[in-house]
Structure 1
C-alpha cells in the first residue's frame, strides 16, 4: 500500500509486539535489529540515545566490530521505510532521537492518560480517573517486543510491567472506592495468581470478597499469602495487610462499601404521580426523535467518533454517561455530535431528544433551563397542564420521568455548565451529548472531548467530497492550498467550496488568490446565512470587556505567546496575563499545542486583527512597543548567560515594562532561544512593518550569536538584511556596522562568501570612520577568514595578523583566541605546520581559561590538523579524542561534524581506511543538519579519499564530484582544488588518462593561484 508521507500520521505501538501504522496501513520494519533499535528510541521519545547505547541494547555484550556503522545503516533504513522518516529520526550530537507527539506512541499515550487519572484523583473526580485508567490499560497488548530482545530490553519490559501493575492497582482502588466489589473479584483473583507476592493486590481482593459477603474467602486469601511470604521470603505480611485482616475478623464498619449519593432527593406524591402519568403517556406514544439531519458528506473525525462510540460501549455503573464536545466556532462540533447520535440511536429505543441551547446564537439569548425542560418533558408525551411552573419541580419531574428510560439527549450549543446541569437525567441508561464553544470544566462527571481543526487528509477529503473528485484532481496543489488558507476549519471549508460550487467558472486557484489577501479573507469566507467572522464574533461578544481587549492586544503578537510576552503586550503582571490566556484557551479563541505556549488559529487571528481600528491604534502601538522592548531585554539576559564576555558598545536599552524570564544556567538560556528564535525573527519583521527601526536593527544583533551557533543561516540572513535596512534608515553608523557584520556571517554560512566580503569591507570602513576599534578588529578577523575560504591566503593572513594585534591591544582574549584559530588554519594550508600548531595551542589555552568549550574544541581540531601535516598521527588522534570529549557536552552539529571529519582524515593518513570510513559517514550525517555547504564539501572530499584508499574508485569519483559541485557553489577554492585532485586520481585508476590530466591541470592552477605548496596538495 502506497503511503503519502505528507498526508498520513504515523503511530507506533510497543506495548506488545512492535507495530508501526501509517494511517490504516501497517508498515514492515525489517528484521529484529531494526525492531530493537526502533524500540530503544521509542522508549525515550524526544531524548537523544547515543549510538553506543543503541549498540549495547541491540547486541548486549557481544556487538560486532562494525556495530556503530550498522546502527547508522539501520536508522537510515528506518528513515526509508517510514513515511517522513527524515523528520521522525533526528541525528542529534552523539546519537539519535525520535521526534513524535504523545499520541503517536502507545507508551507515551499511556503516560498521558495515567497522569490525567492522577490529576482527576487530586481534583476529587474518581469516575474520570477510572475512565482514564481503563483507556490507558487498553493500550497494553502484552510484554515489550512480545518478550523478545536482549537483556537490556527485557529489563525495560520488566520496568514497564511494574508501571502497568501500579496503574491496575490504582484502578481497583478507585473502583472499590466507588462501591464496586463483586464484579472485581474475578479480575483481582487472576492478577493475584499471576503476581502472588504483591500485597496490594491481595488486600484489594480480600476487601472485594469481604464487601461481597464472602468473609471466609477473604480470610483464606490472607492465610494463603501469609504462608507464601513465609516460604518464599521468610517474612510476614506488611502492616497494611495485617490491619485489613484484623478489620475483616472484627467486621469493622470502616471496611463497608462507601454509600453513593442518590441522583435526586425524595420525590413528593404529586411528583411521583406526574412521573407515572408521563411514563404511561410515553408507552402509548411512539419514541420521540428530534435529531437534526445527518449531513451526507460528513468527512473525517474518525478518531473522535471512535472515542464517542467507545465511551457508549463502556458499561455505565455510576451515574449518567455525559460526553461534552468543545471546540472553536466552526470546528464542526454539532456535525460530529449529530453524526454520532444517529450512529447511536438504535441503542436508545425510548427516544432521541435534541435541543439547541442557543449559547452562541446570533441575535438570541441562551435558553433558560426551565424553558428547555418544558420542551423535553413535552417531547416525552407529558401534557403542558401537567408540567409544573417552578424550576425545581420541573427538574425533579424530569429526573423521575427519565429514571427508567434509555434516552439519547443532545444538548447543542451550551453557554456554560450552569445552563446544562439542571437538564441532566438521573438514569445511567441515558446518554447525554453536549456541544459548547467553551470547555465545561465545572461539569462534574462529564468526559470532555476537545476537537481542533481537521487533519490535512480530512480537509482535502472534505474539499473533494463537496467539490467533486474531478475538479480537485485538475488542481491538486490549489486544493491543498485552499485547505490551508481556510485553516482546515470545517465551516470555512464548506463556505469556500459552496462558493466554488455555485460559480463553476471559478477555478480553485482563483479563489485561493482571493483568500490570499489577508484584508478580505474573512469577507470571502462568508455567505448570507453564516460566516467565519460572524461565528467568531459570538464567542468574542460572550466575553467581558477586559477579555475582549486582551484578545485584540494578544493578536498583535506575530507568533506563539508565553506568559512573559503576553504580560508585555497587556501591561499586566504575568499571573494576570496567564489567567487571561487560560480564559481565552477555554473559550477556544486560543490554541495550546505545547504546555505554556499559546497561539491563534489563522482565521481567529485575522478576526482579531479586524478589531484593530483607528480608535485602538494608539493603544495597539504602545502594546507592540512593550512587546519589542521585552524581547530586547530578554535576549540580552539570555546572552549574558549563554555568551558571557560579549563586547559592549554602550547602546542604551529600554527600561523593563514587564517581568522577564529568569535563566538559571546557560542550558536554560539556550533552551529559551530554541523555543523563541522564530518569534524573535517574527518580532523583527513586525518592527519593520510598523517602522520601529531601532528594534528592527538591534534585535538581530542581540540574537545573532544563537542563530550562528545553531547554523540557522536563512533566519540569520533575513534578520541581517532587515537590520541593515533599518540601520540605514536610522542613520545609526554603529548599528549599521554591527548589522553588516552579522549579515556577513549569514552569507558565509550560505556559501555566498564574496557577498560576505563586500559586507565586511563596508563594515570595516564604518568602524575606522567612527573610531570603533573593537569593530575594526572583528571585521579584519572575519575578512581574513572569508578571504582564506576564497583561496586568497596572503591577503587573509595579512588581515588576521592585523586583527590579532588589535585584539591584543584592546585586551580582548576571546576574539584573540578566535583569530588564532583562523591563523592556524591558513598556516597549515600554506605548509607552515609548526606555526599552525603554535597558534592553535595558544588559542586552546586561552579558550580553556575563558571556559569557551566550543572554540577550545575548534582550536584542538586545528592543532590536530597541524600534527597530521607533521606526520604525528598518534598525537593528532589524542588531540581529536580530547576535542570529541568536549563536544559531547555541546549540541553543535556543525562543529561536531568537523571533529568527526578530522578523525576520519587522521585514521586515513594513519593507514586505517575502515575506521576512517566510519567516522566519515558520521560526519556526513551531522553536517547535513548544520547547513554548512563548505563543510559538506570538506567531508565529501575526505570520504572520496577514503574510498580511493579502499580501492573503490567509482564511489570515490562520485564523492569528489559532489564535493566539487558544493565547493563551486560557495567559491570554496581549496576544496575545489582537492576535489579536482581527487577526480584526477580516480580517473587515472580507472584508466581515463586524458580526464586525469585535465582534472589535475585545473587543480594545479588553483593550488598555484592560492600559493599552496606542492607537498600540501595531495593529502592522502
Structure 2
C-alpha cells in the first residue's frame, strides 16, 4: 500500500513506508519530507515507533561520525521542519524528555504492519493453519521494497536495516517452506532463485530452492545448486555445507521418499515438516548449555529493575530480539542484577543460557574482540571448530543463522560499547539479550535501557545485615547506619566493608566507621582482595579521553552538591554548550549523577576519587578564580532582581562575562539562591583562602542579602566576619566600612547590641567625611542598636541624620529602611502620630521600589502606630495588606509578628473566630525559624491575646518566656512589656504582691527609656 488509508471519520491519515526508500503519504498525496538530514531523523524515529529516541542517537543517525558543533540545535530544527511538512506533525512527532517519539497508529507505518503480519503467521503455524500462515507471510513480503532508505541512510540506519533484513529473510524462508509443504514447487523456483542470488550464503534458502527444483522434476538442477553452494562456501568461508543441506542433497540424489511432494494431513505432520534444520538445533540427548555464573544467595533490593527485566524476558515475541541493557556506575551491582534475572528467566529459554564477560572495564585486561566471543558462543551451542569460519563477518552470519532457530538467553556482561556488542546479538524474536555496561549505548537500536542507581538506605542496611549477620548489626545499630551512609548506597563498597569485618572478627563496626571517616583515606579502606572501589572508578576514568579526564578533575573542585551547566562552564573555561556536552558524557559514563534535568552531581566516593587524581598541569587556581567570578556576577544579578533599589557596589560586568542562568524573575532568583547556597558558602571560603579578598567581600555582601531574607542570622554573622577579614587584608576602607556595618546588623539580630554599637561606630569612624552613603548606613545601624537598648534619644538622633543623608544621595531604599527604624523608636516611645507618619512614608517608598519584604515591615509598624492611636480598623487594613505579601519562607520571624498582631487586632474588633489559630501559628513559626528578638516580641504579643481571652496561666507562661529572652539580650523595651504583661497576668491570677512587683519594675524601665503614658498602654 502506497497511499494512506482514510481514518474512521473518512478523513485521510498520514502513512509512512520505510521498508525501502522513504515514503510519506497523506491520503493520495505524497509528502515532501525535506532534506536528507531531516529524512534520516524521521526514519530513525520510525524505526522505533512509540519509543523515545534520545537526541544523541538522532545526531549519530544524521551525521555518522562527524556531527557539527551545533548538532543538538540542528536536530531540533529538523524536528520543527518535519512537523511543518507532516499534517498534524506535532502529534506525530512528540517531545519526550531528552528526545523525541513517533506516535503512529497500526496502519500508519509499513514496519508496524510487517510485525503484525509476522506475528499472525506464527500464531497460525502454531495452530496448524498453514494456508492462513502463507497468506500472512505473503503480506509481509509484499511490504518489503528493499533496504531502509535504499541503503543510503548512514551507519546507524544501515545497522538497523541489516536487522530488518534478517527478519525479512526469516519470513521469506518460512513462506517458501510452507508453500513447498502445501504442494507448490515450480512456481516457487523463480522467486527463490532471485533471493538466492541476493543471499548466496544462506543454506536454508538454498535448500528450499533445491527442494522446489526437485519437486518440479528438475533433479539435475537441484544437484547443481548443491555443487554451487559447496564451492561458494569453501571459497568464501572455508567450510563445507552443513549436515542438513548435505542430507537433503543425498536424499535428492537417491530419490528418497522423504523429499517427495506431499501435503501434511495433521498438525503433527506439519510440525515435523516445518522443524528447522537438524544441525541448528540442540541434540535431544544433550542438555542445553548454561554458562551463567552463580547467583548471589543474598541478592538485595532492585525490585523495580528486576521486575522490568523479567517483564521484558517473558513478554510475547514482538518480531525482533528482545534487548535489555543495564547501565550504571562501577560497583553499582549491574552484573549481580543481570545474573539474578537470568537465573529466574532460565526456564523460559530452554535452548541455552549463555554468559560472556566482555571485559570492557576489567582491571588489567583488554576488552574481548567480537570475533573471539563469537567463536566461544558457537562452540557453546554445539558447532564444531571445523565449521566455524575464521573472520568476523562470516562468524556473525553463522551465529545469526544458528541462533535464529533457538530460544536463547544471552547475557553480555561488562560491555565496552555498541560496536563490541552488535555482532553478538541474535536476530530471532524468541531470544533475549541482557547487556550490562558503564556507558549507555545510545547507538544500539532497539535496546531498552535501565539505569541502575544507588541502593536505598533501607536496602543498604538489609544488605549489611544479610552479609555481616544480624548479631553484629543489631549490636551496633547506629554504627551500622553510619557505615551504610559512608558507602553511599554503592553495593561494591557495602560488600567490601562486610568482607573486611567478616575477616576481622575483633573489629567492631564502629572501628571501621572511624577508619572510613577520614575522607582522604576512604578509598584505600574500601578494598578487599582483588575488589577495590578505587580500581573500579579508575577504569571508568581511564576509559575517557584526555580532555574528559581534565574536565573530570576540575569538576571535582566544584563545592556544590548540584552542578549546573553555567557554573560548570565557568569552572572549565568553556561555553555553556560545550560544558553541557562534557557533563552529559560524564553522566553517560556514570561518573556523574543527575537528580533533575540540568543539574548534575558527584557520588561522594566519585568526588573523593576526582580530588585524588589531580595533575600538576591542571590550572586549579584559574578554574577556582573563574568560578568565584561567575558566582559573584550571578549573585549580583539575583540580588538586583530580589532587592530592587539596593545600592550597587563593585565593577560592572566585563565584556567576556560568563553566561548566567535565567534570573530575571524573583522566584527564579530565589530558587537559584536556595539551590546554590551550599556552593556559595564554600566558594566564599575558597575565595578568602586564595587571597581573592575583594571578590570575597563583594560575594559575601550579596550572600548577606539572601541570608537576611531567609532569616538565617547565625550564618549572617559568620559571613559578615569573613567579609570583614577579607576587607582588612584588602585595605579598602569603603568596603571595610560596609562590611563592618553588616556585621553590626548581625550583632543586632543575635541580641549582641553593645558589640553591634562598637562595630558600627568603628565603621562610622572609617568612613570619609564625603562618603555620605556609608555614613548614612552606619548611622542607621547605630540608631537601630541604641533603640533596642532603650536609648531612644540617641536612636532618634542617629536615624534622623541617616535619613537626611539618604535623601541627599538619593537612596530611597535605604531611606525607607531608616524610616521604618525611626517609626519603631517613635512607636515604642509612645509618639504614635510620628511613628505612623514615618511608617507611611516608608510604605510609599517600598511600594514604588517593589520592595515586597521591606513593605511588610513598614506596614507592620504602621499598624502598630494605628493601634497606639486606637484606630483599630486602619491597623487591620494595614495588616491585611501585609498578610497578602507574606511568605513564611522569607523572614519567618517578621511573618510571625504580623500573625500575632493580626490575632490581637481581630480580638480587639470582636472577630474572635481564628484568633487562637493565628496566635499559635505565630508562636510555632517564630519558635522554629525566628531569632530570640522576634521570639520575645511574639511571646509578648500573644501573651496579651491570652490575657484578653481570660487565660492568665497561658499569658503568664508567655510573658515569662519573653522576659527571659529579652533580659538575656538586654532588649529593654520588650523586657518592660514582658513585666507589664506578667503584672496583668498575676493580677488576674489573684497574686497581688507579684503583680505589684512586676508593675513597679516595668514602670521603672519605661521611665528610664522615656516612654509616654500612651506608650505604656500598648
Q: Same fold (TM over 0.5)?
A: yes
Q: Is the 8 A contact 1:282 1:380 kept in 2?
A: no
For 1:565, the equivalent position in structure 2 comes to 567
Residue number in structure 1 paired with 2:945: 946
Gap change, CA 1:570 and 1:303, over 3 Å in 2: same
d(CA) in 2 for partners of 1:862, 1:597: 42
In 2, are the aligned partners of 1:271 and 1:397 still within 8 Å (CA)? Answer: no
Separation (CA, whole Å) in 2 of partners of 1:537 and 1:864: 65
Give the equivalent residue in structure 2 for 1:18. Answer: none
Structure 2 distance, partners of 1:900, 1:995, is 30
Structure 1 segment 532-547 matched on structure 2, within 5 A: 532-547=533-548
* Conserved 8 A contact 1:407-1:430: yes
Q: Which residue of 1 aligns with 2:167?
A: 263
1:738 aligns with 2:738: yes
Q: What is the CA–CA distance in structure 2 between the aligned matches of 1:504 and 1:787, rounded to whole Å?
A: 65
Q: 1:497 to 1:821 in 2, by over 3 A?
A: same
Shift of 1:714: 4.1
Q: Are 2:636 and 1:636 equivalent residues in the alignment? A: yes
Query: How far off is 1:727 after superposition?
Result: 2.6
Give the alignment of 1:875-886 within 5 angstroms.
875-886=874-885
Q: Where does 1:653-802 land on structure 2 (aligned, <5 Å)?
A: 656=656, 658-661=658-661, 663-767=663-767, 772-802=771-801
Is 2:513 aligned against 1:609?
A: no
Shift of 1:588: 0.6
Q: Is the CA contact 1:276–1:401 (under 8 Å) kept in the aligned structure 2?
A: no
For residues 465 and 745 of structure 2, what CA distance do their matches in structure 1 show?
47
Aligned partner of 2:51 in structure 1 is 129
DSSP-derived class of the 2:563 partner = coil
Three-state SS of the structure 2 residue aligned to 1:286 is: coil
Structure 1: 5+ residue stretches without partners: 1-118, 133-165, 186-210, 214-258
Alignment of 1:309-458 (within 5 A): 309-458=310-459
1:130·1:171 contact (CA, 8 Å) conserved in 2? Answer: no
Match of 2:74 in 1: none
Counterpart-to-counterpart distance in 1, 2:684 and 2:447: 45
Aligned-pair CA distance for 1:671: 3.4
1: CA distance between counterparts of 2:611 and 2:377? 41
Q: Which residue of 2 aligns with 1:24?
A: none
Tell whether the 8 Å contact from 2:644 to 2:851 is kept in structure 1 after alignment: no
Distance 1:809 1:361, change over 3 A: same
- The alignment partner of 1:283 has SS state of coil
Counterpart CA distance in 2 for 1:477 and 1:876 is 54
Deviation of 1:653 (Å): 7.0
Corresponding residue for residue 218 of structure 1: none
Q: Is the 8 A contact 2:788 2:973 kept in 1?
A: yes
Where do residues 111-150 of structure 1 align in structure 2 (5 Å cutoff)?
A: 123-124=45-46, 126=48, 129=51
| Displacement of 1:352 | 1.5
2:105 partner SS: helix
How far apart, in 1, do the equivalents of 2:771 and 2:479 lie?
53
Residue pair 1:827, 1:835 contacting (<8 A) in 2 also: yes
The whole-number CA distance in structure 2 between the counterparts of 1:358 and 1:745 is 62
Quote the Cα distance in structure 1 between the aligned partners of 2:53 and 2:702: 49
Structure 1 match to 2:847: 848
* 1:531 is aligned to 2:465: no
Hey, what does 2:252 align to over in structure 1?
none
CA distance, structure 2, for counterparts of residue 278 and residue 482 of structure 1: 55
Question: 1:624 aligns to what SS in structure 2?
Answer: helix
* Deviation readout 1:288-331 (Å, 9 max, x if unpaired): 22111222222222332233233334333232222111111111
Report how far residue 999 of structure 1 moved: 4.5
Whole-angstrom distance in 1 between the partners of 2:406 and 2:920: 69
Q: Distance in 2 between matches of 1:271 and 1:130?
A: 42
Aligned partner of 1:645 in structure 2 is 645
The reply on whether 1:279 has 2:280 as its aligned counterpart is yes
1:904 and 2:923 are equivalent in the alignment: no
Aligned to 1:598: 600
Normalised by the length of structure 2, the TM-score is: 0.72
Instruction: State whether residues 272 and 400 of structure 1, in contact with CA within 8 Å, keep that contact through their aligned partners in structure 2.
Output: no
> Residues of 2 paired with 1:297 and 1:486: CA distance?
18
- Relative distance call for 1:865 and 1:390 in structure 2 (3 A) is same
- Evaluate the alpha carbon distance shift between residue 687 and residue 999 of structure 1 in structure 2; reply closer, same or farther with a 3 A threshold: same
Classify the secondary structure of the residue corresponding to 2:436: strand
Cα separation, 2, equivalents of 1:282 and 1:957: 93
Distance 1:504 1:984, change over 3 A: farther
User: Given the superposition, is the C-alpha separation of residues 752 and 426 from structure 1 closer, same or farther in structure 2, using an over 3 Å criterion?
Assistant: farther
Instruction: Mark the CA change 1:758 to 1:345 in structure 2 (over 3 Å): closer, same or farther.
Output: farther
Deviation at 1:968, TM superposition (A): 5.0
Question: Does the C-alpha gap of structure 1 residues 343 and 945 become closer, same or farther in structure 2, counting only changes over 3 Å?
Answer: farther
Inter-partner Cα distance in structure 2 for 1:848 and 1:930: 26
CA contact (8 A) 2:779 2:798 kept: yes
- In structure 2, relative to structure 1, the CA distance for the partners of 1:660 and 1:1004 (3 Å cut) is same
Q: Name the CA shift for 1:998/1:677 in 2 (closer, same or farther; >3 Å).
A: same
The corresponding residue for 2:870 is 871
Root-mean-square deviation (Å): 3.5
Cα deviation 1:183-222 (Å, max 9, x = unaligned): 999xxxxxxxxxxxxxxxxxxxxxxxxx999xxxxxxxxx
CA contact (8 A) 2:49 2:102 kept: no
Residue range with higher mean Cα deviation, 575-584 or 982-991: 982-991
- Residues 960 and 459 of structure 1, relative CA distance in 2, 3 Å threshold: farther
Q: Distance in 1 between matches of 2:596 and 2:336?
A: 27
- Deviation at residue 700 of structure 1 after TM alignment: 0.7
**Structure 1 residues 932 and 396: CA distance shift in structure 2, 3 A:** same
With 545-554 and 758-767 compared, the bigger mean Cα shift is at: 758-767
Q: Is the 8 A contact 1:984 1:997 kept in 2?
A: yes
Specify the SS of the correspondent of 1:913. coil
Instruction: Say yes or no: does 1:804 pair with 2:806.
Output: no
Distance 2:968 2:464 in 1: 42
SS at match of 2:740: helix
Structure 2: tracts of 5 or more residues without a match: 1-40, 55-94, 121-134, 138-162, 170-198, 204-240, 246-275
> Residues 888 and 602 (structure 1 numbering): CA distance in 2 closer, same or farther, change over 3 Å?
closer
2:577 to 555, 575, 578: 575
CA offset at residue 181 of structure 1? 6.8
Distance across 2 between alignment mates of 1:969 and 1:376: 81
The secondary structure found in structure 2 opposite 1:291 is: coil
User: 1:980-1019 to 2 correspondence within 5 Å?
Assistant: 980-993=979-992, 995-997=994-996, 999-1019=998-1018
Provide the rounded CA distance (Å) in 2 between the counterparts of 1:992 and 1:595: 64
Structure 1 residue 175: Cα displacement:
9.1
SS in 1 for 2:605: helix
Q: Is the 8 A contact 1:681 1:715 kept in 2?
A: no
* Contact 1:629–1:656 (CA under 8 A) maintained in structure 2: no
- 1:11-69 CA-partner distances (Å, limit 9, x unpaired): xxxxxxxxxxxxxxxxxxxxxxxxxxxxxxxxxxxxxxxxxxxxxxxxxxxxxxxxxxx
2-structure distance, mates of 1:905, 1:398: 85
Give the secondary structure class of the aligned counterpart of 1:173. Answer: coil
- Distance apart, 1:650 and its partner CA: 5.3
Aligned residue for 2:708, secondary structure, equals helix
The aligned counterpart of 1:494 is 495
Between 556-565 and 855-864, the greater mean CA deviation after superposition: 855-864
Residues 816-846 of structure 1 deviation map (CA, whole Å, 9 limit, x = unaligned): 1211101111111111011111111222223
Aligned to 1:106: none
Pick closer, same or farther for the CA change 1:1002–1:461 going to 2, 3 Å: farther
- Report the CA distance between 1:529 and its aligned residue: 0.9
Q: Given that residues 320 and 426 in structure 1 are in contact (C-alpha distance below 8 angstroms), is that contact kept between their aligned partners in structure 2?
A: yes
- In structure 2, relative to structure 1, the CA distance for the partners of 1:393 and 1:930 (3 Å cut) is same
CA contact (8 A) 1:438 1:586 kept: yes
Distance 1:1018 1:310, change over 3 A: farther
Cα 1:972–1:912 change in 2 (3 A) is: farther
In the alignment, what sits opposite 1:467?
468
Give the CA deviation at 1:657: 5.3
**Could you tell me whether the CA contact under 8 Å between 1:750 and 1:931 is conserved in 2?**
no
